[in-house]
Amino acid sequence: MSGGRINWFPGHMNKARREIAKAMPKVDLVMEVLDARIPGSSSNPLVPELRGETPFLKILNKADLADPGATGSWVRHLENEPGVRAIPVQKDRIKEVKGLIEVTRSMLPERRKGGRPILAMILGVPNVGKSTLINTMCGKAIAKVGNRPAVTQHQARIKVAKDVVLLDTPGFLWPRLDPPECGSRLAVTGAIRDAVLDLDEVAFFAARFMAKRYPDLLRDKYAFDAIPDEPYALLEHIGARRGCLGRGGMLDLQKVCEIFLRELRAGTVGRYTLEWPGAV
Q: 16: burial class by Cβ within 10 Å (0-12, 13-18, 19+)? A: buried
- Please, what are the domains in the chain? 11-168 (3.40.50.300), 198-266 (1.10.1580.10)
Q: Is the pLDDT of residue 207 over 80?
A: yes
* CA 280/CA 278 separation, integer angstroms: 6
DSSP-H helix ranges across 215-266: 215-222, 231-241, 253-266
Burial of residue 208 (CB within 10 Å: 0-12, 13-18, 19+) is: middle
Selected residue with higher pLDDT from 173 and 79: 79
Instruction: Give the pLDDT score at 9.
Output: 54
Mean pLDDT score of the chain: 86
- Residue 144 has phi, psi (to 5 degrees) of -70, 135
The answer, yes or no, to whether residue 272 has pLDDT greater than 50, is yes
- What pLDDT digit, counting tens, does each position of 21-32 carry? 888 889 999 999
> Given this model, what pLDDT does residue 188 score?
95
pLDDT classification of 151: cutoffs 50, 70, 90: very low
Q: Which pTM was predicted?
A: 0.87
The band of 77, judged by pLDDT with boundaries at 50, 70 and 90, is: very high
Predicted local distance difference test score (pLDDT) of residue 78: 96
**Residue 193 scores a pLDDT above 70:** yes
pLDDT, position 63: 97
Whether the pLDDT of residue 238 is over 80: the answer is yes
Q: Is the pLDDT of residue 83 over 90?
A: yes
Picking from 12, 62, 35, the residue whose alpha carbon sits closest to that of residue 125 is 35
Of 50-59, 94-103, 148-157, 202-211, which range is least confident? 148-157
Calculate what percentage of the chain has a pLDDT beyond 70. Answer: 85
